[in-house]
Amino acid sequence: MRDTDIESLGTCAFSSPLRIPHFVPDDSRVLVDVEWTDSAAMSERASFENAGPRKHIFFDPSKTTAAIVTCGGLCPGLNNVIQSVVRMLYHQYGVKRILGIQYGYEGLCEKYGHMPIALTPDSVSIIHKEGGSILGTSRGPQDCAEMVDWLIKNQVSILFTIGGDGTLRGAAALHAEIKKRGLPIAVVGIPKTIDNDIRFAHKTFGFATAVSVATNVIHSAHSEAKSARNGVGLVKVMGRDSGYIASYVALASIEVNVVLIPEVDFALDGPGGLLSHLEDRLQKKGHAVILVAEGAGQKYTLSSGMKDASGNVKYGDIGLALKDKIEGHFKQANVPIVLKYIDPSYIIRSVPASAEDAVFCIMLAQNAVHGAMSGKTGFVVSYWNSFYTYVPLTMATGKRKQVRPDGYLWTMVKEATGQPDF
């Protein structure tokens, strides 16, 4: 028996009454130590580079110019990341010329006329107390050649891009263009996704803060629902492709009765549908709280199929669609209900980072700087199995991390809400 083995009282004689799709095999184990230095024996197992400071670096700090750009929607912690990149570059590595690019990739294109801002530890000393990004953001890609020209003209050696999937794909294209031209410019991504949907990242900054704020909103929806006869609180939260925020909020609040996420299809009408379940619930309890992620149930919306400035498909508003469907259904059934619809997205994503996210932002930012200074390029800094890692830009983008409909998280959410499969 190994030290790490635990004891058992005996043979398992009963079948588990759990109604879940799968179980953990009895011999499933988790490695104690997941960090090691390369060895032939282990080479066949996939691994990421371990993030952190290197003994030798590629860039001469005294001659290096770094630039930081933030793109896409707001996310708690943007300013913390900016601040930490600046502090680490300036105080620890001695890089004194740091440019803040204004309004996302637009700021890297001459034609928009946005001037970069000189960033110093002093100028960023209290920005972590505010939400948003002091650099401003914008959506959408820009011409790669134009942006590389800008980097050359402004003598930028390292570009930190803070953004989501679209932004990182942009960074990958930028990196390809730089490589094609054979330039010594590092492109580093720091994943920013309030949806927590980046591949090979167990956690992304801002997510914990968002869950916390959204959980408070559920308390409000719950109070509204309980205070009316047949009260229905309907809340839409972020989650284009992945339902992590909705799932975590449902668990944290224990006040949600139905969760709808992009990964799990649902029927509205018919005997086993959402509306029929809602009818039952109102009859039994007199109120209900429904939490829907923005990407859920797109087939019920009037989505145009058009794309937004970032190249993402424009989604229909499932919140308003559900509101209409539910109100229409009960009107037809002649059952008066009181539905309150809350869309708190702009209140959630614009708050300052929580203490825990603040620390996480520092760690991500510092490791991004370590990687860049050692000459690594074309990567994102990530968090994986409790370690900070460097993951190729191409691996981190394109496919999203998603909630598995037959996995443990979703099973637990259903347990917490008591909802069936619709």
User: Could you say which residues in the range 4-23 bind a second copy, by CB under 8 A?
Assistant: 4-20, 23
Q: Tell me, by CB under 8 A, how many residues bind a second copy.
A: 143
Contact (CB, 8 A) for 278 and 310? no
What's the closest the beta carbon of residue 233 comes to a second copy, in angstroms?
A: 8
| Torsion angle defined by CA atoms of residues 165, 166, 171 and 177, in that order, rounded to the nearest 10 degrees | 130
Q: Looking at residues 241 to 300 of the shown chain, list those that interact with a second copy (rule: CB under 8 A).
A: 248-249, 251-254
Nearest to 154 by CA among 107, 87, 91: 107
**Choosing from 33, 122, 143, 195, which is the catalytic residue?**
195
CA distance 38 to 48: 11
For a second copy, the closer of residues 12 and 306 by Cβ is: 12
For a second copy, the closer of residues 145 and 254 by Cβ is: 254
CA distance 92 to 114: 29
DSSP letters, 156-178, are: -SEEEEEE-HHHHHHHHHHHHHH
Nearest to 333 by CA among 276, 257, 268: 276
CA distance 154 to 108: 10
What's the closest the beta carbon of residue 15 comes to a second copy, in angstroms?
A: 6
Q: Looking at residues 66 to 105 of the shown chain, list those that interact with a second copy (rule: CB under 8 A).
A: 74, 78, 83, 87-88, 91-94, 102-103
Instruction: Work out which of 144, 362, 368, 403 binds a second copy, going by CB under 8 A.
Output: 362
The window from 162-170, 215-223, 259-267, 324-332 that contacts a second copy (CB under 8 A) reads 215-223
Phi (first) and psi of residue 400, to 5 degrees: -95, 155
Angle, vertex CA 276, rays to CA 270 and CA 277, nearest 5: 130
- For residue 150, give the H/E element and its range: helix 144-153
| 202 belongs to the binding site for a second copy (CB under 8 A) | yes
Cβ of 301: how many Cβ atoms within 10 Å? 17
What's the closest the beta carbon of residue 303 comes to a second copy, in angstroms?
A: 20
**How far separated are the first and last CA of the chain, in Å rounded?**
46
| 151 belongs to the binding site for a second copy (CB under 8 A) | no
For a second copy, the closer of residues 121 and 273 by Cβ is: 121
Contact (CB, 8 A) for 209 and 353? yes
Instruction: Work out which of 385, 398, 399, 406 binds a second copy, going by CB under 8 A.
Output: 385
Q: Looking at residues 152 to 191 of the shown chain, list those that interact with a second copy (rule: CB under 8 A).
A: 179, 184-186
Cβ of 21: how many Cβ atoms within 10 Å? 12
What's the closest the beta carbon of residue 333 comes to a second copy, in angstroms?
A: 18
- The helix-helix angle for 244-253 and 207-226 (nearest 10°) equals 60
Instruction: Work out which of 173, 384, 404, 405 binds a second copy, going by CB under 8 A.
Output: 384
Alpha carbon distances (Å) from 154 to 48, 88, 108, 245, 299: 32, 21, 10, 39, 47
Instruction: Work out which of 416, 417, 419, 422 binds a second copy, going by CB under 8 A.
Output: 416
Instruction: Work out which of 30, 40, 302, 306 binds a second copy, going by CB under 8 A.
Output: 30
Instruction: Work out which of 152, 415, 420, 421 binds a second copy, going by CB under 8 A.
Output: 415
Residue with tokens 């972020």, as numbered in its chain:
238
| 315 belongs to the binding site for a second copy (CB under 8 A) | no
Q: Looking at residues 393 to 412 of the shown chain, list those that interact with a second copy (rule: CB under 8 A).
A: 395, 408, 412
For a second copy, the closer of residues 273 and 392 by Cβ is: 392
CA distance 200 to 396: 6
The answer to whether 195 is a known catalytic residue is: yes
Q: Looking at residues 105 to 144 of the shown chain, list those that interact with a second copy (rule: CB under 8 A).
A: 106, 114, 125, 128-134, 136-138
Phi (first) and psi of residue 289, to 5 degrees: -120, 125
What's the closest the beta carbon of residue 21 comes to a second copy, in angstroms?
A: 11
Per-position x/- string for 317-346, each x denoting binding to a second copy as judged by CB under 8 A, each - no binding: -----------------------xxxxx-x
| 351 belongs to the binding site for a second copy (CB under 8 A) | yes
Instruction: Work out which of 350, 402, 404, 405 binds a second copy, going by CB under 8 A.
Output: 350
| 303 belongs to the binding site for a second copy (CB under 8 A) | no
| 308 belongs to the binding site for a second copy (CB under 8 A) | no
Phi (first) and psi of residue 368, to 5 degrees: -60, -45
Which amino acids are annotated catalytic?
Answer: 195
